[in-house]
Amino acid sequence: MTRDEIPTPALLLDLDRFERNIAKMAAHVKTAGKKLRPHSKTHKCPEIAHRQVAAGAAGICVAKLAEAEVMASAGVRNLLITTEVVGPEKVGRLVGVLARQPETLVVVDHPDNVRELGRAMEKAGLVLNVLVDIDVGGRRTGVQPGDPAVELARAVGREPALNLRGLQGYAGHCAHVMGFEERRRTSRRWMGRLMKTRELFEKQGLPMDIVTGGSTGTFNIDVELDGLTELQSGSYCVMDLDYRRIGGKDGGADYGDFEMALTVLATVISVPSAEMAMIDAGLKAFSTDKPFVPEAVEWPGVEYSWAGDEHGRLTVTEPGRRPPLGERIEFFPPHCDPTINLYDRIYAMRGDKVEAVWDIAARGRSQ
Ligand SMILES: Cc1ncc(COP(=O)(O)O)c(C=O)c1O
């Protein structure tokens, strides 16, 4: 199959760029003496997870239990579920994941959840690996750093079926701070909370073999933290417009550390005027959570605008640039994770040839 034969709208992965991204991050963490547990919430694709592990990743992060179920049954090992697993229905399913992948890690931020997990694991005759989740300023999940974290760690220690392994601190609010120096300053300030808590754990003799966190935007900042053992970056393997605009370490406007490997392929299905072309990719083909629009790759002189669930409008900004009926154009998506989540499969491209088609098996699996 070639690019011209792919039914549109479709999600495409440029394999050359993707492979360079994977190799670059793998080399980066190796040089820094850190581990990498890439976040698969970005791609939700077991094939990509296997490739990240083959390139040296120590395991794979998942955001949700349902993603863990997909990755575990695909044989992906050393999973870390980065969101708290709460309630009997979820905890029951977690036991199922552990049956396949017993080394799976979860995070906790509340003593009731610690008790719930402890009891369930005891009943199942299992031991569950646990990290204490720290709120490093994202105001999402996580116990407060310092003494509250130590207290929670002690609660974990009282549960015979729970095995405390360390800490998680994800500073998502720092990942897209514009400009490298500002991003570095902000990230170091907030990740300092995690590092202080780590010191406190060490002083108290609490287990500390895993201290995990970090993002694509801070991948070259997080490695400066001596106490961080592993990075959880996700988007780096495919990238998106949201990341491209945050500015690089070299002071440039574009963040060029990783390459834009992900596109949505669309077809021009109507040409109502000389200034306008309609494509078959609208609100159901791209995520719409960002204040900017998809960008046409290698078709300058047009500007995308939303035109409904199934339609996108290309307005000509340079004379003579209106694409003809039937033209196929690739677009960079504004935000990779929620865009990928809209598709069942990804076409892995080598130039114009489809080298493979991979299932986005955890797509829609947010339960
Ligand atoms: C807990 C956690 N870790 C890591 C990541 C990866 O971040 P990024 O895709 O910005 O590299 C995310 C993304 O939202 C996350 O929620």
Query: What are the per-10-residue average pLDDT scores of the chain (367 residues)?
Result: 98 98 98 98 98 98 98 98 98 97 98 98 98 97 98 98 98 97 97 98 96 98 97 98 95 92 98 98 97 96 98 97 98 98 98 98 97
Q: Kindly list the distances between the CA atom of residue 69 and the CA atoms of 64, 65, 83, 95, in Å, as whole numbers in the listed order.
A: 9, 6, 14, 10
Residue 176 pLDDT: 97
Rounded CA-CA distance 87/93 in Å is 10
Q: What is the DSSP string of 263-290?
A: EEEEEEEEEEETTEEEES-STTTS---S
**Any atom of ligand 1 within 6 Å of the Cβ of 212:** no
CB 9 within 8 A of CB 285: yes
**Any atom of ligand 1 within 6 Å of the Cβ of 216:** yes
CA-nearest of 260, 303, 307, 310 to 285 is 310
Pocket perturbation via mutation, ligand 1, pick of 48, 215, 258 by most ligand atoms within 8 A of CB: 215
Q: Kindly list the distances between the CA atom of residue 287 and the CA atoms of 40, 176, 258, in Å, as whole numbers in the listed order.
A: 17, 17, 21
Residue 103 pLDDT: 98
**Any atom of ligand 1 within 6 Å of the Cβ of 9:** no
Pocket perturbation via mutation, ligand 1, pick of 21, 25, 35, 42 by most ligand atoms within 8 A of CB: 42
H or E stretch at 61: strand 60-62
- Pairing label, strands 302-306, 312-316: antiparallel
Count CB atoms within 10 A of the CB of residue 86. Answer: 16
CB 62 within 8 A of CB 80: yes
Count CB atoms within 10 A of the CB of residue 312. Answer: 28
Residue 167 pLDDT: 98
**Any atom of ligand 1 within 6 Å of the Cβ of 38:** no
CB 230 within 8 A of CB 34: yes
**Counting atoms of ligand 1 from 1, which one is nearest the CA of 83?**
1
Indicate if the alpha-carbon torsion angle 149, 152, 154, 160 is positive or negative: negative
Rounded CA-CA distance 91/274 in Å is 58
**Counting atoms of ligand 1 from 1, which one is nearest the CA of 170?**
1
Strands (E), 153-284: 162-169, 210-213, 230-231, 262-273, 276-279
Nearest CA to ligand 1 atom 2: 170
Q: Exposed, middle or buried: residue 292 (CB in 10 Å: 0-12, 13-18, 19+)? A: exposed
CB 298 within 8 A of CB 330: yes
Instruction: Say how many Å lie between the CA of residue 204 and the centre of ligand 1.
Output: 29
Locate tokens 């509340």: which residue? Answer: 110
CB 317 within 8 A of CB 277: no
**Counting atoms of ligand 1 from 1, which one is nearest the CA of 168?**
1
What is the chain's Cα-based Rg? 22
- Cα 143 to its chain centre, rounded Å, is 22
**Any atom of ligand 1 within 6 Å of the Cβ of 172:** yes
- Amino acid at residue number 129: N
**Any atom of ligand 1 within 6 Å of the Cβ of 21:** no
**Counting atoms of ligand 1 from 1, which one is nearest the CA of 243?**
10
Rounded CA-CA distance 225/73 in Å is 34
Rounded CA-CA distance 80/107 in Å is 8
Name the pTM for this structure: 0.97
